[in-house]
């Protein structure tokens, strides 16, 4: 999934990075090439248009020069005057005219033949056409008034006669011959006086040669000549794509958005893309040619002109496609080399996440990915080692913990747990509770009925906690029990225990201990306190007093320690409460101790409680005080209520 | 957050790009192309030349309305030649050297043109000259958009000879154009078998026309060929009218009276007489209607158009087309582009002959109507090739003819008896 997305992204980025610059460069190159080619083609068309205009100008100029030279021959004036006179005086069919005609005809005929003209006409200033080499229908008519007035011949005469300079007619269809031709005419002067006009009927070969010169115009280019004729644009030469177009093809004048053929005929010069008479897009250059009163268009099909551009376009697209292919392949390959290892790494992490550390990542790469895979494998190995170590450590810990649990059970087993312990003895009520801070505590309590009247009871606290303390406690308890057989008073008992505990006490452990003996019939308690918290005596009338600290130091410190014996007498319904510092030093909120004051307040409010009730009340108060904070020390309570002697004195009191 | 950052980046890039574009836009605010307009705004020629200035400015305004030339606005610098030929010279120099204009449109009289010609040739500066003139000149630095003699004088005389009579009386102002035009006219009259029965000149600006009118009456010509320039014409026609010469008895064919001049003359004195021009306001052509509407938009509907105005208007447009084709205002580049340039002008197709830098134009003869417009009686049909040097004399002979005139006057116009005045 990640691999696919990565490779998609990579392909996308590759395409972006490679193709965007390529597209920009290709577009710029293409646009530049198109501009350059268009300008080059246009320049070529300009040159051709110039050539064609020059060629037409040269044709016109050559004929004008010919007719000018002819008009200046003295023979020309002589001929016009003689012929006009004979024509006017005797008539065109007369012998006199024929005489004059014979005089001039050979010269003029040879001139026409020499210069390859169709015909030559001499026109009097009046407009009468008095001579022509061919003698066609125009002969004898008047060019100012007759039917030939509107022909090219009439036009040429009119212009030469009016402007008194050599003039050239427009190209037009001449009615007699039906050919498309023009006339050059020049005034004929004699003694600076104009006597007539000489006109040459042109062979249209030269113009057609110019028009049909397709040099530089490729397969489709051509030169088109047009003229405005009324409301139409008239094509006056054959077209490359329509040989019969001359003076046949007409297109209505359109005005705005006109084709070059119309614009050039109207007198505009220009260049640009246009649509020609076939509806074909062309690149054209156009001119007005005043010498023949026509518009000239040189054009070439856009398709042909821009063929190199089309090739360039194809090439560009092919190149773009090839680049795209290469880029995609490269991107995919890179994606494989980068994304492949990443995918494997991802799978490996997933395996490790599931707990399978055994299989290393199989990535062979020399780059950062390869190094990442190596580190990954190293990390997995170390993780495996750590887990192994952790496992063995945990096993050891568990073993110790189970042993400690056993020790705790043993320790707890040592302490008497059955309450009331002496149900058959109503004279006293005894209850005890121990809450170890750890699995194995150092507190202990015990009681023993020796004979019928002597109840030994003890509470102690080994300094320190854990296994050593519990062992020391076990030793202490064992010694206590075994020493009972001696029948000693509590002070002697404590002193004896002290001597035993001091011997071989390499660990320098010590224990505080309160030991007392109740004489059941009398309620008298003798005791000895070895450094322990003094117990409270709760009197039946409600007063509370701590037993005087009579005894000696804590046990196990010095074997020379002396212990005194204390004495107190319990009245019926009095209760003794023994406790360890786990009660008074229980830590509550704000690191505050429970303290004796709270203990005393708790005890004082329950004068009529049984031993069990008292113990439970105190332990509840401590639990409330500590509010769930784990106890730092063992907590032990022992309550001994005296009910009076066997004769039922307890009942008296209640 | 990430999207917000990307958006902010895109916005920043767009804003910076926009600013950069705007900067380029503003930075590219194009300098105007300055062009000179040099005509007499004062003096005897002002009546005619002010109208030409107006037409020139209309054309320039038209260029600016369609986005200028090469994307730059065209700014006209108008200078007053003061009907004084040496002033034309100094003002031309000032336009070229001080105002640094790209081209100058100007001059009316040949005297002023001849004064400016050596200056533009020395500075390789282009002058568009809008007047019909006597020819016999061809400068690479002048584009002649007015008529050469074969485009006005010859057909006019031909038409007069055919329709009015063959005895001609030649009257003109005493400067180079009328003198040369009349020299040509004499040739043409001779070719047509006519006769010149008198030839008279009066000083430019002179109103003393009655002696000439008296001599005309004595010579009894069929036609008067009038090349008087400026407001002398007012006096001349007034005198003709006063002595009872009417178009019926003795028509006048004028070469320097167009609609502009007619608007300041007493119509009764001139109606029915003739003039030869390439352009008349009454031509019925789409291009002419457009020209007139621009003129009327600028100066009111009563403003008339005349041949020199049209030629000046066309000159500005030819220059603009050439500059556009050349993509440059450099004189040589513009000159190259001018060759073979054509446009459909109000009068017909105008084409710049690359050989002579004159224009092919239509030729027309018209009769003055009482409303100051012309009835067109004849027109050439197609544009006529300009022939500045007519073949009646050799080029050397024509040049010698001009040289003689120049030396006689020490200038291009008769300075008059008070020779210390205008040259």
User: Looking at the partner chain, which of B191, B363, B382 has a beta carbon nearest the beta carbon of A194?
Assistant: B191
CA A649-A653-A654 angle, to 5 degrees, is 120
CA distance B128 to chain A (A): 20
Q: Does the beta-carbon distance from A290 to B187 stay under 8 Å?
A: no
* Among A554, A560, A556, A580, residue whose Cα is nearest residue A475: A556
Which of B347, B350, B364, B385 to substitute to test the interface with A, most A CBs within 10 Å? Answer: B385
- The three-state secondary structure class of A364 is coil
Say yes or no to pLDDT of A174 above 50: yes
Q: Does the beta-carbon distance from A192 to B191 stay under 8 Å?
A: yes
Q: For A238, which DSSP code? A: -
Tally of CB atoms within 10 A around B416:
16
Please, what is the end-to-end C-alpha distance for chain B in angstroms? 87
Give me the phi and psi of B306, to 5 degrees please. Answer: -135, 170
| Window from A284-288, A447-451, A504-508, B388-392 with minimum mean pLDDT | A504-508
Chain A partners within 8 Å of B345 (Cβ): 267
Q: Does the beta-carbon distance from A290 to B381 stay under 8 Å?
A: no
- The three-state secondary structure class of B117 is helix
Whether residue B391 lies within 8 A of chain A, CB to CB, comes out as: yes
Mean pLDDT of chain A: 87
| Window from A26-30, A298-302, A420-424, B20-24 with minimum mean pLDDT | B20-24
More confidently predicted of A577 and A339? A577
CA distance A121 to chain B (A): 21
Element spanning B280, H or E: none
Burial string for A181-204 (b: 16+ CB within 10 Å, else e) reads bbbbbbbbbeeeebbbbbbbbbbb
pTM of the predicted model, to two decimals? 0.70
Virtual torsion, Cα A187, A189, A194, A199, nearest 10 deg: -30
Whether residue A267 lies within 8 A of chain B, CB to CB, comes out as: yes
Whether residue A252 lies within 8 A of chain B, CB to CB, comes out as: no
Residues in Cβ contact with A130 at an 8 Å cutoff, skipping those fewer than 6 apart? A80, A83, A84, A87, A92, A122, A123, A124, A196
Q: How many secondary structure helices (H) and strands (E) does chain B include?
A: 14, 15
Return the sign of the alpha-carbon dihedral for residues A554, A556, A560, A563: positive
> How many Å apart are CA A407 and CA A417, to the nearest integer?
16
Chain A partners within 8 Å of B187 (Cβ): 192
Highest mean pLDDT (candidates A353-367, A633-647, B156-170): B156-170
Say yes or no to pLDDT of A509 above 90: no
Q: What percent of chain A has pLDDT over 90?
A: 40
Residues in Cβ contact with A178 at an 8 Å cutoff, skipping those fewer than 6 apart? none
Distances (CA, A) of A73 to A67, A198, B157, B216: 10, 11, 25, 39
Chain A partners within 8 Å of B387 (Cβ): 165
Q: Does the beta-carbon distance from A293 to B385 stay under 8 Å?
A: no
User: Looking at the partner chain, which of B188, B321, B348 has a beta carbon nearest the beta carbon of A164?
Assistant: B188
CA distance B154 to chain A (A): 6
User: Looking at the partner chain, which of B154, B340, B381 has a beta carbon nearest the beta carbon of A269?
Assistant: B340
Return the sign of the alpha-carbon dihedral for residues A604, A608, A611, A613: negative
Residues in Cβ contact with A562 at an 8 Å cutoff, skipping those fewer than 6 apart? A495, A552
Chain centroid offset of residue A18 CA: 17
Tokens of A60: 């016109």
Arithmetic mean of pLDDT, A499-524: 88
> How many Å apart are CA B359 and CA B144, to the nearest integer?
7
Please answer whether residues A459 and A528 qualify as being in contact, where contact means their C-beta atoms are separated by less than 8 angstroms: no
> How many Å apart are CA B169 and CA B220, to the nearest integer?
9
For chain B, which residues score pLDDT lower than 70? 1-5, 7-8, 11-12, 15-29, 418-423
* Among A83, A164, A159, residue whose Cα is nearest residue A122: A83
Helix axes A466-483, A368-414, angle to 10 degrees: 10
> How many Å apart are CA A115 and CA B419, to the nearest integer?
58
CA distance A26 to chain B (A): 23
Chain B partners within 8 Å of A172 (Cβ): none
Chain A partners within 8 Å of B360 (Cβ): 290
At residue A283, the pLDDT reads 93
CA distance B369 to chain A (A): 24
> How many Å apart are CA A102 and CA A138, to the nearest integer?
19
Strands A428-435 and A635-642: antiparallel
- Residue of chain A minimizing CA distance to B390: A165
Q: Before A420, cis peptide (omega within 30)?
A: yes
- The three-state secondary structure class of B38 is strand
Tokens of B56: 């020139």
Chain A partners within 8 Å of B390 (Cβ): 165
> How many Å apart are CA B221 and CA B250, to the nearest integer?
7
At residue B70, the pLDDT reads 94
At residue A372, the pLDDT reads 79
Whether residue A164 lies within 8 A of chain B, CB to CB, comes out as: yes
Say yes or no to pLDDT of A81 above 70: yes
More confidently predicted of B161 and A332? B161
- Strand order across the A167-168 sheet: A129-132, A119-124, A193-201, A183-190, A167-168
* Among A146, A133, A131, A135, residue whose Cα is nearest residue A188: A131
CA distance B363 to chain A (A): 10
| Chain A 40-69, residues with CB within 8 Å of chain B CB atoms | 50, 53
Tokens of A230: 């009324």
- Residue of chain A minimizing CA distance to B349: A267
- Residue of chain A minimizing CA distance to B150: A163
Please answer whether residues B55 and B312 qualify as being in contact, where contact means their C-beta atoms are separated by less than 8 angstroms: yes
At residue A534, the pLDDT reads 92
Which of A262, A269, A270 to substitute to test the interface with B, most B CBs within 10 Å? Answer: A269
Chain B partners within 8 Å of A182 (Cβ): none
- For chain B, give percent helix, strand, coil, nearest 5: 45, 20, 35
- Residue of chain B minimizing CA distance to A190: B191
> How many Å apart are CA B166 and CA B160, to the nearest integer?
8
- Residue of chain A minimizing CA distance to B322: A269
Per-residue pLDDT tens for A192-250?
899 999 999 998 888 899 999 999 899 999 999 999 988 899 999 999 999 989 899 99
Judged on CB neighbours under 10 Å (0-12, 13-18, 19+), B114 is buried
Tokens of A399: 């073993």
Please answer whether residues A550 and A527 qualify as being in contact, where contact means their C-beta atoms are separated by less than 8 angstroms: yes
Burial string for A15-44 (b: 16+ CB within 10 Å, else e) reads beebeeebeeebeeeeeebeeebbeebbeb
Tally of CB atoms within 10 A around A271:
22
Helix axes B286-299, B46-65, angle to 10 degrees: 100
At residue A649, the pLDDT reads 45
Q: How confident is the model at residue A651 (pLDDT cuts 50, 70, 90)?
A: very low
Question: What ranges in A280-367 are assigned the alpha helix state H?
Answer: 302-305, 307-353
CA distance A193 to chain B (A): 4
Please answer whether residues B150 and B165 qualify as being in contact, where contact means their C-beta atoms are separated by less than 8 angstroms: no
Arithmetic mean of pLDDT, A403-427: 82
CA distance A268 to chain B (A): 5
Tokens of A159: 């212009």
> How many Å apart are CA B57 and CA B51, to the nearest integer?
10
Across the A:B interface, residue pairs with CB atoms under 8 Å apart total 78
Element spanning A575, H or E: strand A574-579
Arithmetic mean of pLDDT, A607-635: 85
* Among A609, A424, A442, residue whose Cα is nearest residue A512: A442
Say yes or no to pLDDT of A504 above 90: no
Please, what is the end-to-end C-alpha distance for chain A in angstroms? 86
Q: Does the beta-carbon distance from B154 to A291 stay under 8 Å?
A: no
Q: For A360, which DSSP code? A: P
Q: Does the beta-carbon distance from A163 to B187 stay under 8 Å?
A: no
> How many Å apart are CA B227 and CA A607, to the nearest integer?
158
Element spanning A511, H or E: strand A511-519
User: Looking at the partner chain, which of B193, B325, B384 has a beta carbon nearest the beta carbon of A193?
Assistant: B193
Q: Does the beta-carbon distance from B154 to A163 stay under 8 Å?
A: yes
Q: Radius of gyration (Cα) for chain A, nearest Å?
A: 71
Per-residue pLDDT tens for A265-296?
999 999 999 998 898 999 999 999 998 989 99
Highest mean pLDDT (candidates A53-62, A599-608, B269-278): B269-278
Strands B167-173 and B195-202: parallel
Q: Does the beta-carbon distance from B340 to A159 stay under 8 Å?
A: no
- Residue of chain A minimizing CA distance to B380: A159
Per-residue pLDDT tens for A18-47?
778 888 888 888 888 888 888 889 999 999
Arithmetic mean of pLDDT, A506-515: 87
> How many Å apart are CA A444 and CA A458, to the nearest integer?
8
CA distance A620 to chain B (A): 57
| Chain B 299-338, residues with CB within 8 Å of chain A CB atoms | 321, 325
């Amino acid at each position: 999934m990640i691999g696919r997305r990565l490779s998609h992204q990579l392909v996308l980025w590759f395409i972006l990075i490679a193709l965007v610059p390529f597209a920009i460069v290709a577009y710029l190159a293409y646009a530049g090439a198109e501009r350059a080619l268009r300008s080059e083609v246009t320049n070529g068309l300009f040159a051709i248009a110039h050539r064609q205009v020059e060629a037409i100008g040269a044709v016109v100029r050559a004929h004008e020069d010919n007719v000018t030279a002819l008009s200046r021959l003295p023979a020309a004036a002589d001929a016009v005057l003689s012929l006009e006179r004979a024509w006017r005086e005797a008539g065109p069919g007369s012998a006199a005219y024929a005489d004059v005609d014979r005089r001039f005809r050979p010269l003029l005929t040879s001139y026409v033949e020499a210069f390859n003209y169709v015909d030559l006409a001499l026109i009097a200033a009046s407009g009468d056409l008095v001579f022509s080499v061919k003698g066609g229908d125009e002969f004898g008519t008047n060019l100012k008034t007759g039917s030939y007035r509107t022909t090219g011949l009439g036009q040429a005469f009119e212009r030469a006669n009016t402007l008194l300079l050599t003039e050239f007619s427009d190209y037009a269809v001449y009615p007699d011959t039906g050919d498309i031709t023009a006339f050059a005419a020049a005034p004929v002067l004699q003694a600076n006086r104009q006597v007539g006009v000489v006109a040459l009927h042109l062979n249209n070969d030269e113009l057609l040669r110019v028009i049909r010169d397709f040099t530089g115009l490729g397969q489709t280019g051509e030169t088109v000549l047009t003229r405005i004729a009324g409301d139409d644009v008239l094509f006056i030469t054959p077209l490359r794509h329509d040989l019969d177009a001359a003076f046949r093809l007409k297109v209505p004048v359109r005005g705005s958005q006109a084709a070059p053929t119309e614009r050039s005929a109207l007198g505009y010069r220009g260049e640009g893309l246009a649509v020609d008479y076939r509806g074909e897009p062309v690149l054209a250059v156009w001119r007005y040619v005043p010498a023949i009163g026509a518009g000239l268009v040189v054009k070439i099909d856009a398709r042909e002109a821009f063929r190199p551009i089309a090739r360039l376009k194809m090439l560009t697209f092919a190149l773009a496609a090839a680049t795209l292919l290469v880029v995609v392949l490269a991107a995919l390959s890179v994606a494989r080399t980068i994304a492949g290892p990443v995918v494997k790494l991802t799978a490996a992490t997933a395996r490790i996440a599931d707990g399978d550390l055994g299989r290393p990542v199989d990535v062979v790469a020399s780059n950062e990915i390869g190094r990442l895979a190596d580190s990954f494998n190293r990390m997995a190995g170390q993780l495996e080692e750590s887990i192994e170590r952790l496992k063995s450590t945990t096993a050891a810990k568990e073993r110790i913990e189970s042993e400690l649990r056993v020790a705790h059970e043993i320790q707890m087993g040592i302490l008497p747990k059955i309450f009331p312990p002496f149900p058959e003895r109503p004279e006293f009520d005894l209850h005890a509770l121990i809450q170890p801070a750890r699995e194995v505590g150092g507190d202990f309590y015990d009681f023993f009925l020796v004979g019928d009247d002597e109840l030994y009871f003890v509470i102690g606290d080994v300094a320190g906690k854990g296994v050593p303390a519990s062992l020391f406690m076990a030793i202490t308890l064992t010694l206590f029990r075994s020493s009972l057989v001696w029948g000693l008073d509590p002070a002697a008992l404590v002193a004896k225990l002290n001597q035993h505990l001091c011997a071989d006490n390499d660990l320098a452990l010590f224990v505080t201990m309160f030991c007392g003996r109740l004489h059941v019939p009398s309620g008298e308690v003798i005791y000895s306190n070895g450094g322990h918290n003094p117990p409270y005596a709760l009197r039946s009338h409600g007063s509370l007093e701590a037993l005087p600290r009579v005894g000696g130091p804590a046990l196990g410190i010095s074997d020379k320690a002396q212990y005194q014996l204390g004495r107190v007498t319990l009245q019926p319904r009095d209760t003794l409460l023994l406790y360890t510092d786990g009660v008074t030093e229980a830590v509550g909120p704000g690191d505050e101790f429970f303290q004796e004051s709270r203990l005393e307040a708790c005890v004082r409010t329950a004068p009529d409680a049984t031993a069990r009730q008292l113990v439970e009340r105190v332990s509840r108060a401590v639990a409330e005080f500590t509010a769930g904070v784990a106890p730092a020390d063992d907590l032990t309570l022992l309550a001994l209520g005296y009910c009076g002697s066997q004769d039922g004195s307890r009942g008296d009191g209640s | 957050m990430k999207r917000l950052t990307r958006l902010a980046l895109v916005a920043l890039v767009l804003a910076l790009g926009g600013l950069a574009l705007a900067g380029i836009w503003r930075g590219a605010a194009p300098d105007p192309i300055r062009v000179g307009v040099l005509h007499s705004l004062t003096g005897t020629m002002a009546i005619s030349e002010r109208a030409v200035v107006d037409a020139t400015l209309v054309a320039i305004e038209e260029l600016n309305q369609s986005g200028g030339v090469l994307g730059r606005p065209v700014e006209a610098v108008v200078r007053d030649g003061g009907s004084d030929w040496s002033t034309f010279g100094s003002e031309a120099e000032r336009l070229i050297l001080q105002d640094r204009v790209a081209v100058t449109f100007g001059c009316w009289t040949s005297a002023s043109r001849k004064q400016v010609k050596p200056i533009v040739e020395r500075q390789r500066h282009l002058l568009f000259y809008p007047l019909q003139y006597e020819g016999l000149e061809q400068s690479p630095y002048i584009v002649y958009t007015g008529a050469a003699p074969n485009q006005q004088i010859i057909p006019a005389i031909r038409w007069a000879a055919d329709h009015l009579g063959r005895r001609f009386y030649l009257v003109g102002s005493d400067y180079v154009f009328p003198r040369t035009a009349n020299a040509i006219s004499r040739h043409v009259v001779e070719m047509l078998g006519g006769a010149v029965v008198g030839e008279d000149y009066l000083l430019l600006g002179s109103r003393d026309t009655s002696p000439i009118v008296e001599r005309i009456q004595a010579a009894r010509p069929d036609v008067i060929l009038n090349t008087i320039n400026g407001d002398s014409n007012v006096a001349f026609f007034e005198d003709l009218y006063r002595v009872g010469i009417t178009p019926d008895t003795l028509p006048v064919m004028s070469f320097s009276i167009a609609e502009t001049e007619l608007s300041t003359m007493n119509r009764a004195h001139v109606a029915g007489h003739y003039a030869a021009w390439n352009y008349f306001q009454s031509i019925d052509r789409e291009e002419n209607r457009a020209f007139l509407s621009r003129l009327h938009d600028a100066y009111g509907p009563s403003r008339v158009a005349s041949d020199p105005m049209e030629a000046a208007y066309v000159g500005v447009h030819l220059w603009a087309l050439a500059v556009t084709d050349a993509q440059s205002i450099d004189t040589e580049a513009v000159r190259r582009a001018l060759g073979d340039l054509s446009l459909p002008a109000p009068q017909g197709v105008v084409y710049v002959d690359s050989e002579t830098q004159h224009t092919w134009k239509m030729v027309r003869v018209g009769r003055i109507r009482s409303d100051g417009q012309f009835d067109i009686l004849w027109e050439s049909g197609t544009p006529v090739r300009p022939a500045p040097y007519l073949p009646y004399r050799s080029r050397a002979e024509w040049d010698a003819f001009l040289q003689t005139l120049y030396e006689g006057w020490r200038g291009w116009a008769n300075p008059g008896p008070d020779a210390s005045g205008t040259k």
